[in-house]
Each structure stands twice: as structure tokens, then as C-alpha cells.
């Protein structure tokens, strides 16, 4: 099956996606004009890099799960799920953070990745989820609104949106294409 028709899904980070992950994240750093220094451990020992991202870890003071969004053997982006909020995360950061790497943007992947992430939140018993984005990030704002986000003002320089999960996974589509 050609990549364009492969189903997209969230998976635990895996060493099997080494080349695709590194290529995507390097392209993203170049596109954003940011340093790729954070990838040095991945180049040095990818299996250890992946092992440090699998399962539940405490980050930002809360249990956190990292997923990679993939289609076939292609890495498209990362979604981070924070299992609960601290006071700081309730102001900025929220339950879910995500990004699609530059080579795969503007194809609807962020909308579908967030939908899949919301399904993961629902499976963990969350009734509603806070998602935040920078005020000038119109693409992310559209992604959140397309997934049922209700604007909840701005705090600490981030626009905040609450998404109710009571409608269940059937209302959210996370396939590619």
C-alpha cells in the first residue's frame, strides 16, 4: 500500500523509525531555524533515545506519555499527553502538545493527530482536555477548533481551548488522507 494511503496512527516511539524520525526532525529544525542540538543523543544512541521516551514519565511535574504519529514506516510528528494538569499547565501548556514535522505540514495531519490524541485522553478517563497555542499560530488554532475546541481566553501569553470528550472517539477521525 502506498504511503499516502497507509493508515495514520499514534504509536509508542520505536527504533524502527530511526531514519524517518531523524530526517523529519532535522528538516523541521531547518525550516524553523532552530538548533538540532537536542537530537545529538538520538544520533549517538537511538535505542537509548527511544527508550527514554517510551511509557509513562514524569515531565512538567505530571505523568506524561509520548506518542509518535506515523503512516506506514514514516514518522510525521509527535504528540505529548499530560495525564493531569498542574496550576502552571492549566494556564499554559495544557494536556496535549503536538507538532507535525515540516515535510508533512499542511496536509491535515495535525487535525487527525490531535483527534487521535483526544481518543487517548478519553481512554485515560479525561472528560475534557485543555489545549493551548501561541496567539499568532493560526494553523494550530484551526486544528484545535476543528477538534471541538472552545476558546477559554488567554493566560501567560497562550490562547487556551477546552475540548469536551463526552462525544467519544467515533466523532473524531484519525486516518490519513
| Structural domain boundaries, residue 118 | 3-171
**Per-residue confidence (pLDDT) for residue 5, from 0 to 100:** 63
In a domain, 177, yes or no: no
- What's the confidence (pLDDT) of residue 76? 94
The runs of H, that is alpha helices, within 10-154 are 18-32, 40-44, 46-51, 87-91, 109-123, 138-146
Give 111-130 pLDDT, tens digit per residue.
999 999 999 999 999 999 99
Total domains in the chain come to: 1
pTM of the predicted structure, to 2 decimals? 0.88
pLDDT at 1: 37
CA distances from 139 to 60, 73, 111, 145, 166 (A): 25, 26, 10, 10, 25
- Per-residue pLDDT of 149-163, as tens digits, reads 999 999 888 999 999
Give a yes or no: residue 176 inside a domain: no
Whether 162 is in a domain gets the answer: yes
Question: Of 104 and 149, which is predicted with more confidence?
Answer: 149
What DSSP character marks residue 103?
G
Asked if 96 and 79 count as a contact pair (C-beta separation under 8 A), the reply is yes
Question: CA geometry: angle at 146 spanning 12 and 118, to 5°?
Answer: 30
**CATH no. for residue 144?**
3.40.630.30
Could you tell me if residue 37 is inside a domain? yes
Q: What is the mean pLDDT of residues 46-52?
A: 93
Instruction: Report d(CA 169, CA 10) in Å as an integer.
Output: 14
Span 78-87, pLDDT tens digits? 999 999 999 9
Cα–Cα distances (Å) from 137 to 32, 133, 150, 168, in that order, read 13, 7, 16, 27
Average the pLDDT over each of 20-24, 126-130, 167-171 and give the range with the smallest value.
167-171
Amino acid at each position: 500500500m502506498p504511503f499516502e494511503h497507509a493508515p495514520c496512527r499514534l504509536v509508542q516511539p520505536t527504533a524502527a523509525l530511526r531514519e524517518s524520525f531523524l530526517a523529519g526532525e532535522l528538516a523541521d529544525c531547518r525550516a524553523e531555524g532552530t538548533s538540532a542540538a537536542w537530537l545529538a543523543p538520538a544520533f549517538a544512541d537511538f535505542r537509548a533515545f527511544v527508550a527514554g521516551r517510551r511509557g509513562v514519565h514524569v515531565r512538567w511535574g505530571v505523568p506524561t506519555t509520548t506518542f509518535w504519529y506515523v503512516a506506514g514506516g514514516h514518522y510525521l510528528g509527535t504528540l505529548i499527553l499530560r495525564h493531569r494538569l498542574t496550576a502552571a499547565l492549566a494556564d499554559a501548556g495544557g494536556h496535549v502538545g503536538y507538532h507535525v514535522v515540516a515535510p508533512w505540514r499542511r496536509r491535515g495531519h495535525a487535525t487527525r493527530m490531535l483527534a487521535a490524541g483526544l481518543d487517548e485522553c478519553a481512554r485515560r478517563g479525561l472528560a475534557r482536555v485543555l489545549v493551548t497555542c501561541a496567539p499568532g499560530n493560526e494553523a494550530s488554532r484551526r486544528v484545535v477548533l476543528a477538534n471541538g475546541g472552545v476558546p477559554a481566553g488567554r493566560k501567560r501569553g497562550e490562547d487556551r481551548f477546552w475540548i469536551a470528550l463526552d462525544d467519544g472517539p467515533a466523532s473524531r477521525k484519525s486516518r490519513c488522507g
